[in-house]
């Protein structure tokens, strides 16, 4: 696996499974953390930028969900387009807490005159009319930012929406619903010809009316992105009332209303990669189609399935190797397997192996190396635990290339 240049790197072009011929709708995750960004190396695999997700509808319209620090990385992506090309995205801001707006001043396309932006959010009781516009002005007011709002030369339109509103954007019908979160928050449902995506970050269970609203929003969704910042234990004790949810609540909703794929989102800044791994493992013990959002992760919603591609991760020193190894894990269909293989490409963080089986993305593998002579193991096997971050359907001698990241 080649190293990436940024935390929110371009994901590998190699799909995890066969992609539908129709390009369908595509989700790309640019920021997946909640509360505050983190650059701790123990969070590199899932990423440290705050909330920002990009949806491309089947008609080609670009939709941006929230404007956390991931928005800066997204802003570098359209810059690769021809200079004469105008971009005109639709940007949905769920609420006005810092982790959902702090990327706005650093979003470079807003400083390009040819661009045109459509913003959607609600009227805050604390800000009044034109709430989002006021947020723009306040963020860039002196003495908080070196330039004021006049530096942003792109055209901007602001539309106030409320829970229960329904309207059309190119390629999608949008439904907004209120979520249970301090000072208010909206969740959004996007119904496209390729399927339905629901974005419901920042919500806490416990308000019967809003709990039902969330279930109605998520009903039958092909992809349900839900707040999973806290563990069930935290949610029941020290973090009750903070406005967030857990993997368990997401699984309950997914089962109740027929969600096809659940994405755990808004990871706590204090949750290391290993912590998120454990949360994902617990969720998958209760609901098969669960994914932990990672920066650079791409989900393509086609006619028959959801294709998932996991990004490359930062890596250490690489070495060509030839170690005998035994691998145990579970396939994409949930079948346990155990087989012999060769470790041919090893780094301090991960390895590329070739298997007869095709394990599930983000699943755990146990790897036993026969006397590799590293890590102080001069006698006996070296036992490692890793997570699958890449599946290459192009095989070598009818075997599948599997990229794993070692966690311990």
Final residue belonging to a domain, choices 309, 342, 363: 309
The verdict on residue 188 lying in a domain is yes
**Are residues 322 and 304 part of one domain?**
no
**Are residues 325 and 288 part of one domain?**
no
**Are residues 62 and 193 part of one domain?**
yes
Cβ–Cβ contacts within 10 Å for residue 395, how many?
13
| pLDDT given for residue 401 in this prediction | 85
Token pair for residue 76? 């570098």
| pLDDT given for residue 253 in this prediction | 98
| pLDDT given for residue 348 in this prediction | 56
φ, ψ (nearest 5 deg) of residue 75: -60, -25
**Are residues 327 and 257 part of one domain?**
no
Residue 52 C-beta-side C-alpha neighbours within 13 Å: 30
Query: Locate tokens 């192009």: which residue?
Result: 394
* Torsion sign (Cα): 398, 309, 287, 282: positive
| pLDDT given for residue 369 in this prediction | 77
Q: What is the mean predicted confidence (pLDDT) over 348-366?
A: 85
The verdict on residue 18 lying in a domain is no
Token pair for residue 4? 């990436």
**Are residues 296 and 221 part of one domain?**
yes
Residue 252 domain boundaries: 25-309
Token pair for residue 338? 């155990």
Question: Is a pLDDT exceeding 50 seen at residue 377?
Answer: no
Q: What is residue 39's three-state secondary structure? A: coil
Final residue belonging to a domain, choices 276, 309, 342: 309
Nearest to 205 by CA among 238, 175, 250, 256: 250
> How far apart are the C-alpha atoms of 93 and 336, rounded to whole Å?
42
**Are residues 331 and 191 part of one domain?**
no
The verdict on residue 107 lying in a domain is yes
pLDDT digits (tens, 9 = 90+) for 74-116: 998 754 455 568 899 999 999 999 999 999 999 999 999 999 9
**Are residues 238 and 364 part of one domain?**
no
Q: What is the DSSP letter of 41?
A: G
The verdict on residue 3 lying in a domain is no
Final residue belonging to a domain, choices 309, 342, 358: 309
Choose between 347 and 5: higher pLDDT. 347
CATH label of the domain that carries residue 241: 3.60.15.10
**Are residues 86 and 57 part of one domain?**
yes
Q: What is the DSSP letter of 230?
A: B
**Are residues 303 and 186 part of one domain?**
yes
> How far apart are the C-alpha atoms of 121 and 158, rounded to whole Å?
8
| pLDDT given for residue 83 in this prediction | 58
E-strand spans in 32-184? 52-56, 62-65, 90-92, 116-121, 155-160, 166-169, 172-179
Nearest to 229 by CA among 211, 212, 256, 250: 250
CATH label of the domain that carries residue 343: 2.40.10.220
pTM beyond cutoff 0.75: yes
**Are residues 334 and 294 part of one domain?**
no
* Range of lowest pLDDT (94-103, 174-183, 350-359): 350-359
The verdict on residue 5 lying in a domain is no
Burial 179-201, CB ≥16 within 10 A → b, else e: bbbeebbbbbbbbbebbbbbbbb
Question: Is a pLDDT exceeding 70 seen at residue 210?
Answer: yes
The verdict on residue 224 lying in a domain is yes
Residue percentage of the chain with pLDDT more than 70: 85
**Are residues 380 and 258 part of one domain?**
no
Structural domain count of the chain: 2
The verdict on residue 258 lying in a domain is yes
**Are residues 368 and 252 part of one domain?**
no
> How far apart are the C-alpha atoms of 283 and 57, rounded to whole Å?
28
Nearest to 245 by CA among 287, 286, 203: 203
The verdict on residue 17 lying in a domain is no
């Amino acid at each position: 696996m080649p190293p990436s240049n940024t935390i929110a790197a371009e994901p590998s072009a190699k799909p995890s499974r066969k992609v539908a011929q129709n390009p369908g709708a595509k989700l790309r995750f640019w920021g997946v953390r909640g509360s505050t960004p983190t650059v701790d190396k123990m969070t590199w695999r899932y990423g440290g930028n705050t909330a920002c997700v990009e949806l491309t509808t089947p008609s080609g319209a670009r939709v941006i969900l929230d404007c956390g620090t991931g928005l800066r990385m997204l802003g570098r992506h359209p810059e690769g387009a021809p200079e004469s090309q105008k971009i005109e995205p639709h940007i949905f801001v769920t609420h006005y807490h810092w982790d959902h707006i702090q990327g706005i001043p650093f979003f470079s396309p807003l400083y390009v005159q040819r661009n045109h932006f459509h913003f959607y959010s609600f009227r805050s009781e604390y800000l009044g009319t034109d709430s989002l516009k006021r947020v723009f002005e306040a963020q860039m007011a002196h003495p908080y930012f070196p330039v004021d709002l006049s530096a942003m030369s792109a055209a901007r339109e602001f539309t106030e929406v409320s829970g229960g509103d329904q309207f059309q954007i190119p390629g999608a019908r949008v439904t907004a619903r209120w979520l249970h979160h301090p000072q208010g928050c909206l969740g959004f449902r996007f119904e496209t010809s390729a399927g339905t995506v629901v974005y419901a970050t920042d919500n806490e269970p416990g308000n019967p009316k809003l709990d039902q609203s969330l279930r109605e929003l998520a009903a039958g969704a092909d992809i349900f992105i839900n707040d999973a910042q806290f563990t069930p234990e935290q949610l029941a004790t020290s973090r009750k009332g903070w406005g967030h949810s857990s993997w368990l609540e997401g699984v309950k909703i997914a089962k109740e209303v027929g969600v096809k794929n659940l994405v755990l989102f808004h990871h706590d800044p204090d949750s290391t990669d290993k912590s998120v791994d454990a949360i994902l493992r617990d969720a998958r013990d209760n609901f098969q189609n669960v994914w932990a959002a990672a920066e650079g992760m791409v989900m393509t919603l086609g006619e028959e399935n959801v294709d998932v591609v996991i990004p490359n991760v930062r890596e250490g020193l690489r070495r060509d190797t030839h170690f005998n190894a035994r691998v145990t894990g579970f396939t994409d269909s949930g079948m346990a397997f155990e087989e012999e293989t060769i470790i041919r490409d090893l780094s301090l963080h991960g390895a590329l192996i070739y298997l007869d089986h095709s394990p599930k993305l983000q699943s755990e593998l146990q790897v036993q190396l026969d006397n590799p002579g590293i890590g102080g193991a001069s006698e006996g096997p070296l036992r490692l635990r890793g997570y699958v971050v890449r599946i290459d359907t192009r095989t070598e001698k009818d075997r599948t290339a599997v990229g794993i990241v070692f966690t311990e």
